[in-house]
A and B are shown apart, each in its own frame.
Chain A
């Protein structure tokens, strides 16, 4: 018996060690629960500051925005008090399902009308601009495209990088549909495809492909460029950015935003969290740490060379409509660009 016991001791020890957390498992029901579709590397520090600011425990779950929206829709009682999304589409889906509470007018008024839900169910916390990344060794400044149709020029054949499965690309195509109409959008996409654009999995790969000169132009979001500079140093980065401007889909501005879950028993704390994310110190964080555009007037980045958001012309489209991507995807499938 003794021998048996001692020979088995390591296994028994391991079993107890493994089972211990099972017994100790318990949730903290007093904490504010945030479902964050934005990554910890981007907003982890900020949400840490939020915890101090609120003076209460904050539990954050990280995941993909779309997956978390689906999860919130499947939960019997939503576990989260606050949903922090990478894009307006996921927020729009929750609004449509009636899962988001209306935010106080005071908070909404901080932010430009372009960057909030019509019914006040969500508000943007930071913004990103679509830009054209280019390789200055191949493209001189005067040759840069000044609107959507310039991209169809023969000189760009096989030289434009895009990310067909990426949400930002799909939002861009939705903007093309809104500004050019269905037929105009189909026509543009067909011609774009005929010009043999190069597909990449995501914006990071496009950015690096342009940097290496694999393609001359790339359709990406602005901050991938600033993060590369922060990571590798300006002297080691070849790729440059071009802001198209005007009422053109290439100048689309998309947002990350936040909404309070309807029926949350910590709605008051959740609203204070929203107010904090719109505060000057949080907005400064976006401008400096994530290289995004602050949505509050008067905040400028001390680290990155960002053009002012209010100075960037953007197309006049309704960001909530970016949640209805069905028609966009149908069109992309039809054209064969999905």
Chain B
């Protein structure tokens, strides 16, 4: 007996399952490695008093960062999309950029300016500042795509701005905010850079210590399995919480009366909102940039222009290709989850998220193990690196694409089918264009995250190729901060590319929505 989804959409189901198998590849490696010495040895590695302690510390950090990121991300998105915040277009782009700052750079700049920050609060601060865009971006996209009519109705019924925000806007963006929160949680669980610099004893520290101190991959794999289980639990929790919220507030389509999405006057709150936004950017962008400028005055500051240019080009190239492939992978998964809910599609979703809590070194070694066995000809070639990015960052694309598709009204697809268009053509000409803001956000998230990825890039890049992240690491590792600064600076500039592209996508899609047909 085939599941419902497989009967109603065989092609998309097969594609989704293939993607899920690729995404679950690293988990296969993990199990092989964890059971290297037999089950008893694995349990022995697991059964240490420190395991539970580290797990609780990681869970606490994850919960705190996720909660604050959801609040910050939703507020920032609402201010940019719905309010009359001065300069909100500029803020709209700037709010995205901290995503390009690697957590090891963020951590390093904060700890070198304020050594007293070490510990929980330092790790909390740095991780919040580099991950809140995971919430901000999808929520801003959801707000832009959602029909403001509901909010107008609420206001016309005498509800104030605050109550409208709480009762209507917040419910409209709930699925996007939760999906973003999930990405934040998985990032924090997998992070090593910030927690090690802030000397916060987290779970990933145990994993790295196992590699670096005893060169033993088995305990690291056992601990990795624990992270996977935790990731699965959080993903299931998010799905429950998301529930049917997606049905609330659909994408505005068709030729309604042409009007700008209305802005909510902030009035007395305006200076506070402006100050808050500026403070957030000052902490998230200002502090790292300030440190970079100070590094630039160091004596090792010499810009090797050819290397900088080639590293910039490789970064843009591999990140863009990775984003493209991740989105291609995410399309069938997103359609399956949003349009054909079943046990199978939930399984596909879980498989695409499960490996995302693994620290970069474990995910990288998994791809080394698989790559050198399954595709020996492509190992340490560009296609392998692009494939690695697509698999490692698949959840970023899936979350955004799924939200985009879920928000697009299914009845338009039905109309298309009733007009005699085939299933494939309907997807291509109706579903995907409607979901384009979500798809664009997914591509941007993957691009930004891939651009700063380090451990897997070091292992899988073609020999001799370097990216901005690898050059940055090379320089900071020997303490040549002056030489490192240009690479970090360009990384932030490169991050502005998807930010600007996204702005265009949003403008076009809102023109198409309000401008009366295309």
Q: By the criterion CB–CB under 8 Å, are A201 and B214 in contact?
A: no
- B300 contacts the other chain (CB 8 A): yes
**Cross-chain contact B380 with A74 (CB below 8 angstroms):** no
> Measured between C-beta atoms, what is the minimum distance from A70 to chain B in Å?
5
Q: How far is the CA of A200 from the CA of B108 in the complex (A)?
A: 11
Q: Does B158 contact A (CB under 8 A)?
A: no
Which residues in chain A, 45-71, are within 8 Å of chain B measured between CB atoms?
59-64, 66-67, 69-71
The reply to whether the CB of B504 lies closer than 8 angstroms to some CB of chain A is no
From 63 to 105 in chain A, residues with beta carbon under 8 angstroms from any chain B beta carbon are: 63-64, 66-67, 69-71, 73-77, 79, 89-90, 93
Kindly list chain A residues whose C-beta atoms are within 8 Å of the C-beta of B470.
62
A279 shortest CB reach to chain B, Å: 24
Whether B474 lies near A41 (C-beta < 8 A) is yes
Contact A201 B317 (CB under 8 A): no
Residues 206-230 (chain A) with a chain B CB within 8 angstroms: 209, 214, 224, 227
Contacts of B299 in A (CB 8 A): 231-233
Contacts of A328 on B, CB cut-off 8 Å? Answer: 213
Which chain A residues in 276-313 approach chain B with CB under 8 Å?
none
Q: Specify the chain B residue showing the minimal Cβ separation from A34.
A: B463
Q: Given that A66-B215, A74-B365, A74-B372 are known contacts, is A60 also in contact with B199, CB under 8 Å in the complex? A: no
CB distance from A204 to the nearest CB of B (A): 4
Q: Give the distance to chain A from B50, nearest Cβ to Cβ, in Å.
A: 7
Partner of B474, one of A21, A39, A227: A39
Whether A67 touches B459, Cβ cut-off 8 Å, given contacts A41-B480, A76-B372, A329-B209, is yes
> Is A18's CB within 8 Å of the partner chain B?
yes
Query: Is A326 interfacial (CB 8 A cutoff)?
Result: yes
Is residue A319 within 8 Å, beta carbon to beta carbon, of the partner chain?
no
How many angstroms from the CA of A64 to the CA of B50 in the assembled complex?
A: 26
A24–chain B nearest beta-carbon distance, Å: 9
A90 to B382, CA, bound (A): 28
Given contacts A25-B381, A164-B199, contact A66 B211 (CB under 8 A): yes
Q: Is B468 an interface residue (CB 8 A)?
A: no
- Give min CB distance, A196 to chain B, whole Å: 14
B390 at the interface (CB under 8 A from A): no
Name the CB-closest residue of B to A44.
Answer: B474
Residue of A with least CB distance to B365:
A74
A231 close to B298 (CB less than 8 A): yes
Report if A324 contacts B (CB, 8 A).
Answer: yes
Which B residues lie within 8 Å of A167 (CB)?
A: 212
Structural contact, A231 and B300, CB atoms closer than 8 A: yes
**B221 CB to closest chain A CB, in angstroms?**
11
B111: Cβ under 8 A from any A Cβ: yes
Residues of B within 8 A of A203 (CB): 479
Decide yes or no whether B361 CB sits under 8 A from chain A: yes
Does B327 interact with chain A (Cβ within 8 Å)?
no
Contacts of A79 in B (CB 8 A): 372, 379-380
Say whether A70 contacts B215, CB under 8 Å: yes
Chain B residues with CB under 8 A of A209? 115
Q: Considering the chains assembled together, what is the distance between the CA atoms of A227 and B483 in angstroms?
A: 14
CB-CB contacts below 8 Å: A234-254 with B: none
A39 to B478 Cα, complex, angstroms:
7
Judge whether B464 is part of the interface by a CB distance below 8 angstroms: yes
In the complex, A10→B364 CA distance in Å?
A: 34
CB of B213 within 8 A of CB of A326, answer: yes
1/0 per residue, CB under 8 A from A, across B308-333: the answer is: 00000000010011000000000000
**Known A22-B382, A201-B197, A204-B479; contact A74-B369, beta-carbon cutoff 8 A:** yes
Asked if A165 CB lies within 8 Å of chain B CBs, one says yes
**Are B479 and A224 touching (Cβ within 8 A)?**
yes
Would you call A199 an interface residue if the criterion is a C-beta within 8 Å of the partner chain's C-beta atoms?
Answer: yes
Residues 6-48 of A contacting B (Cβ, < 8 Å):
18-19, 21-22, 25-27, 33, 39-42
A308 and B76 CA atoms in complex are apart in Å by 60
Bound complex: CA of A62 vs CA of B465, how far in Å?
10
Residues of B within 8 A of A201 (CB): 108, 111, 196-197, 199
Cβ-defined contact, B196 with A165, below 8 A:
yes
Q: CA–CA, A21 to B386, complex, Å?
A: 12
Q: Which residues of A contact B217 (CB under 8 A)?
A: 70, 73-74
Instruction: Please tell me if the beta carbons of A25 and B215 are within 8 angstroms of each other in the complex.
Output: no
Q: How far is the CB of B306 from chain A (nearest CB, A)?
A: 14
Of the candidates B50, B215, B474, the one having the most CB atoms from chain A within 10 angstroms of its own CB is B215
Expressed in whole angstroms, the minimum distance between the Cβ of B484 and any Cβ of chain A is: 10
Establish whether residues B214 and A326, one from each chain, have CB atoms under 8 Å apart when the complex forms: yes
Point out the residues of chain A lying under 8 angstroms from B214, CB to CB: 324-326, 329
Tell me the nearest residue of chain A to B471, going by C-beta: A40
Beyond A22-B383, A27-B380, A75-B372, whether A61 also contacts B463 by CB under 8 A is: yes
Contacts of A26 in B (CB 8 A): 381
Q: Which residues of A contact B9 (CB under 8 A)?
A: none
Give the distance in Å from the alpha carbon of A76 to the alpha carbon of B213 in the complex. 23
Is B450 an interface residue, CB under 8 A from the partner?
no
Find chain A residues with CB under 8 A from B321 CB.
18-19, 22
Q: Which residue of A lies closest to B458 (CB)?
A: A63
Judge whether A333 is part of the interface by a CB distance below 8 angstroms. Answer: yes
Known: A39-B474, A40-B474, A41-B475. A67 touches B458 (CB 8 A): yes
- CA A123 – CA B215 in complex, angstroms? 19
Complex CA distance for A79 and B373, rounded to whole angstroms: 12
A323 touches B215 (CB 8 A): yes
- Binary interface encoding of chain B residues 471-504 relative to chain A, with 1 for a CB under 8 A from any of its CBs, else 0: 0001101111001000000000000000000000
- The chain B residue with its CB closest to the CB of A72 is B368
A324–B321 Cα gap in the complex (Å)? 41
A317 close to B (CB within 8 Å)? no
A329 to B365, CA, bound (A): 23
Other-chain contact of B365, A27, A64, A71 (Cβ < 8 Å)? A71
Evaluate contact between B383 and A25: CB separation under 8 angstroms.
Answer: yes
Per the bound structure, the CA–CA distance linking A200 and B196 in Å amounts to 11
> Which residues 58-80 of B sit at the A interface, judged by CB distance below 8 A?
none
A329 to B206, CA, bound (A): 11
| Docked complex: B363-402 residues within 8 A CB-CB of A | 364-365, 368-369, 372-373, 376, 379-383, 386
A199:B118 contact, CB within 8 angstroms: yes
Beta-carbon contacts under 8 Å, B158-216 to A: 196-197, 199, 201, 209, 211-216
CB distance from B378 to the nearest CB of A (A): 8
Q: A59 contacts which chain B residues (CB < 8 A)?
A: 463-464
When distances are taken between beta carbons in the complex, the residues of chain B under 8 Å from A93 are: 215
Contact flags B219-249 to A (C-beta < 8 A → 1, else 0): 0000000000000000000000000000000
Interface string of B444-463 (1 = CB under 8 A from A): 00000000000100110011
Closest 5 CB pairs of A and B: A93-B215, A204-B479, A325-B213, A66-B212, A231-B299
Chosen A-B contacts, 9 in total, with CB atoms closer than 8 Å, are A25-B462, A27-B381, A41-B480, A70-B217, A71-B368, A75-B379, A165-B199, A200-B115, A227-B479
* Further 5 A-B residue pairs, CB within 8 A, beyond A25-B382, A71-B365: A21-B382, A22-B386, A74-B368, A200-B115, A231-B480
